[in-house]
Structure 1
């Protein structure tokens, strides 16, 4: 349902009203309206609806005079250094679109933080389906469930096949030393954001550092590649219409994406974690984690022997990222979060347990 009346907390009518709030709002209607006017998008009053399942950056569908765009912004300040860079995220998608990667068209970018307190961008609205906690009717047959999983892998293979040695994509970062930087960076993020002592974080970090695999290539790494960040075409057969949420994208080791995809993928019989954002893949007909990995290997020729290391990295990073959200929730910086934030008290330790099992630091319980 689209909204037209501000709630006075998350969405306010004016910047003057925003200045009187203890916690800054996420959407300021007069500021957004002025930005839309400056770019010739629609006319008259606007309506909005928060969309997506993200717990980091925030996305709204904006409707105005028959025009529809999607606004994406970072969370409330203060923001950790080098995170939630909307300008960079928009630039990445523009570059990838030029290589044929299915991404929304970037309509406009706002670097002026005075409007919403953070930079934001507008992208085209696509008529598609995101698979999360319900199986879309057109993708519900056993055949289409299998095809959906295969399409997830095939889109990742295509992304990883792009040449990143020249052109604008080459400026996204240096893939050399990527894995070591990931371990070092997230160790630092834990120290900066943790609100409690969880010794498993350091134990797993030490294991990761002592067992770094040799990267077999360099590619664009999405960083949060999962089914819930893909939009599928609104009719069968299963086809990826767009890859969403490029906040974490950089150049690095392609198996980091495969490790994250498989470690966070919901599979029948596997324990749940806070990263289970598309639980429907537990249903019959969807590929298993092993089948996803096998399809990727058959199309890339990469050696997946070290995949457990990448799966450990993925869940360890997820635990650290979720702990930052938990800390923000404890500080009252997520006032509408009555579910996800409090769930992380137990959820973060569950992620660390799963990471330790992939690393072989603790045994995996038998089903």
Structure 2
């Protein structure tokens, strides 16, 4: 079995209209030959992602899901232009090929990029990839250092000042994700009033802004097939912005399930952060602090915000399933996960008293 991440069959109701897409692509990429084999990557919780395998090239297409509720989270043009601008300064972004804002082509805005052939570390590493404790530690450190490298990008040199909206980033994030949670709330999840109120009362002072990925996880990095401890790409830039680096770290650690976590956390694990050799959340925080040379004075805020934001993301996804806007059965029990994250927020807040 190949270690390289592969796409599978296109899910029912999510097909691409090749009779329109193929001519559109060949007008912009005239070297393409033949008719592409179309497959779809697993997931689809954020954007639908397809592999287009032509006779002489291998491409990836990304488009928003049907029934999208948060329009601002699915701006294909912004995502395309950001990666184009970032590439000279952070070479781990895929090469961009074409962007289309004409929804008549496939029924939605989309963009096309190169396919990075490599290993994507999802819930578990590939079965034939047996890494020892030291190799796992190297992999983990390299992933965290990739986030550090992103946060060190010279925003001015990259021409990315337009990504920011000035002062008040953390406050806007709290307000924005609180609003999204309220709008996506269904009857079977908590109101989360106390968590939202605590966050609004504990927004930290302004931090120097940097490029933040805002969805940085193991399953959004690509590893070299010949050296699975080396990162060769970073994917899924739809939430990227100029922001607070500590908020980006808190968002990453919200997904970080370690070996000694409770059973419900372990059941929700979606990346191999439980393996012997992986850093714990506290160790990641310490390693990142050492690499950046700064210490957060309001870490509990960033921890709680990361957990609450993840709850809001899960609830937005569940909202689409609840209202039958998506058929993906993987989303059926997301409401349980929302309850769990709400409980973790409360526990983190209690530790500050």
Asked whether the two chains share a fold, i.e. TM above 0.5, the reply is yes
Per-residue deviation, residues 141-199 of structure 1 (Å, max 9, x unmatched) = 22210011101111111110112245521111235211000111112112222122644
C-alpha separation in 1, matches of 2:344 and 2:226: 36
Partner of 1:292: 284
1:59-138 matches, cutoff 5 A? 59-136=49-126, 137=128
C-alpha separation in 1, matches of 2:345 and 2:40: 32
1:41 is displaced (CA, Å) by: 4.9
CA contact (8 A) 1:77 1:118 kept: no
Partner of 1:219: 210
C-alpha separation in 1, matches of 2:7 and 2:279: 35
CA contact (8 A) 1:328 1:334 kept: yes
- Is 1:150 paired with 2:141? yes
Q: Secondary structure at the match of 2:74?
A: coil
C-alpha separation in 1, matches of 2:154 and 2:118: 28
Partner of 2:3: none
C-alpha separation in 2, matches of 1:65 and 1:108: 19
C-alpha separation in 2, matches of 1:275 and 1:176: 35
**2:182 counterpart (168, 183, 191):** 191
C-alpha separation in 1, matches of 2:7 and 2:310: 32
Per-residue deviation, residues 243-268 of structure 1 (Å, max 9, x unmatched) = 11011111110001111122211201
1:359 is displaced (CA, Å) by: 2.0
**1:328 counterpart (313, 320, 336):** 320
Distance 1:184 1:235, change over 3 A: same
**1:9 counterpart (10, 13, 16):** 13
- Structure with higher RCO (Cα < 8 A, 6+ apart): 2
Partner of 1:18: none
Q: Secondary structure at the match of 2:222?
A: strand
Partner of 1:16: none
Q: Secondary structure at the match of 2:60?
A: strand
CA-atom RMSD, angstroms?
Answer: 2.3
**2:23 counterpart (14, 25, 34):** 34
C-alpha separation in 1, matches of 2:173 and 2:146: 24
Q: 97-106 or 197-206, which moves further after superposition?
A: 197-206
Partner of 2:270: 277
C-alpha separation in 1, matches of 2:338 and 2:11: 31
**1:265 counterpart (253, 256, 260):** 256
C-alpha separation in 1, matches of 2:337 and 2:209: 32
C-alpha separation in 2, matches of 1:167 and 1:238: 28
Per-residue deviation, residues 60-112 of structure 1 (Å, max 9, x unmatched) = 11112232100111111454332200110011111110213411000111111
CA contact (8 A) 1:200 1:352 kept: no
Q: Which runs of 4+ in 1 moved over 4 A?
A: 1-4, 136-139, 197-200
Q: 162-171 or 98-107, which moves further after superposition?
A: 162-171
Distance 1:308 1:54, change over 3 A: farther
Per-residue deviation, residues 272-309 of structure 1 (Å, max 9, x unmatched) = 4486310x221212111111111111111121342221
C-alpha separation in 2, matches of 1:314 and 1:141: 30
Q: Secondary structure at the match of 1:48?
A: strand
Q: 190-199 or 289-298, which moves further after superposition?
A: 190-199
Partner of 1:19: none
C-alpha separation in 1, matches of 2:12 and 2:273: 38
TM-score norm. by structure 2 comes to: 0.90
Distance 1:170 1:209, change over 3 A: same
Q: Secondary structure at the match of 1:183?
A: helix
1:2 is displaced (CA, Å) by: 6.7
- Is 1:244 paired with 2:248? no
Q: Secondary structure at the match of 2:192?
A: helix
C-alpha separation in 1, matches of 2:40 and 2:352: 40
C-alpha separation in 1, matches of 2:111 and 2:335: 33
**Number of aligned residues:** 344
| Structure 1: gaps spanning 5 or more residues | 12-26
